[in-house]
Amino acid sequence: LKCDSVVSEISTGPGTVNFTINRELLAKTVLQQVWKDGSEYGVKSELFSAVPRQKAVIEFSSPNIAKKFHIGHLRSTIVGNFIANLKVALGHEVVRINYLGDWGMQFGLLGVGFQSFGNKEKLKSSPLQHLFEVYVQINKAAEDENTKKLAKDFFRKLEEHDEQTLSIWKQFRDLSIEEYIRIYKRLGVHFDEYSGESFYQEKAQEVLKMLEDKGLLQKTIKGTGVVDLSEKKDLSAVCTVMRSDGTSLYITRQFLIISFRDLAAAIDRMNKHSWDTMIYVTDKSQSNHFQHLFQILKLMGYDWAERCQHVSFGLVQGMKTRKGEVIFLEDVLNEVRSRMLQNMTSTKTTKEIQDPVETAEKVGLAALIIQDFRGLLSSDYQFSWDRALQSRGDTGVFLQYTHARLHSLEQMHGNAELTDVNVACLQEPDAISVLQHLLRYDEVLYRSSQDLQPKHIVSYLLTLSHLAAVAHKTLPVKGSAPDVAQARLCLFHAARSVLANGMKLLGITPVTQM
């Protein structure tokens, strides 16, 4: 075995052959690649050359209008956003869909409640909160026979497309979406389409007819409509799709009930978008629901059902704000912002920041996202504000701090120029550790693209931040000879660039001051 331009040394150990890579070549190659590819570093790797570019539809977030935007919706929102970001970065076309719970008997109750307790001004100024309050109030009277009758009448009119009733419902929906868009913007999340159960009224009837025509819909003794999912066709595994009174079941995904609307939505999206893969992001209690949904689609003759995927996640326990239980997403965002702001003002090292409130929000969000993405998505975890907001250790705050620190280093010493870098100045072990780690970025992206788990990227970025922090201490720029300072500046620029790329994939906006 001979040494060459890549391998500088070959030695043998007990039962091993050891190769030492040419470190100058390592430094030169990595720095040039990071510099040249910029935000596409890692994505242009040959690892992805054989991966076909596809069109993906991703359904995520999907809150119910007038009900709590609970912590499960927050998880669905940030996980779905991560998957969409990753797919876009890898060159796929992505359609982001928010499938709202905007239909069903609760709107009968809500309509009646609004007539009794509603306030048009409050509806305009804070629709989510006001509709939730109205819904809570009317629910107290929900057992009252008269209220029940009024609610049924209101919903019947909705289904019959009565103009006045529809315009009230439309106002609830439109104002809620406006408010959602504003809150999602704070999260850095957007959707290409706000869909909902209401879209599939007529189409649900077509699905019912298709099931009947294909002989898939069977009646039980009780009169409910079921689809037989058993292999032997002996009704040992069935999925209920219709009540005994003939109404299609309103979507209650956790009870293994498939609504015709879910089937209609899947078929409609295929017709509209001709996707290669469709991903649903919800909590793991709905796993059976999606398994059944995909099975029924396949029985209906849709082979593309095999390209549908359910990305499930575990439950979060213990997330409370100072006011108590989380009801609205905005409560969480305000809480994390105020706690972070408090931490920042009590820290001596905090510099005068141009917009402390916005910085606190971005850092706080990073804290929430990293705490959520550190483990397997399917795991349940106990939420802790104190742990999430720690500035040291493996937290989102630490990532943001590292990014801001590296950014201010560049500001202080002027931007690095790659053209005249002497890579012989980057041979210290701490510099080599950073360079070797940067070289692995594409492998981590590849792993995450395969299993859609953000934890690989999180773990990579935390290690990168720790390695950069050590190098920052042991390889000073200030006071070093000009070519040494320039080479180190290039190294830190590369580390910051890759750190920023990874953070953006996770849905975090890197801050430049802290």
Which active-site residues does the annotation give?
67, 70, 73
Pairing verdict, β 277-283 and 308-313: parallel
At 418, list the tokens: 């790659």
409 in Cβ contact with 477 (< 8 Å): yes
Burial of 272 (0-12, 13-18, 19+ CB in 10 A): exposed
In angstroms, rounded to a whole number, what is the distance separating the alpha carbons of residues 64 and 105?
12
With tokens 């701490």, the residue in question is: 430
Q: How many C-beta neighbours within 10 Å does residue 229 have?
A: 18
Classified as helix, coil or strand, 148 is helix
Which tokens go with 481? 């000879």
DSSP string, 274-314: --SEEEEEEEGGGHHHHHHHHHHHHHTT-GGGGGEEEEEE-
Main-chain phi, psi angles of 148, to 5 degrees: -60, -45
- Among the listed residues 370, 397, 392, the one whose alpha carbon sits nearest the alpha carbon of residue 381: 370
In angstroms, how far is CA 379 from the centroid of its own chain?
16
Backbone angles phi, psi at 221, to 5 degrees: -60, -35
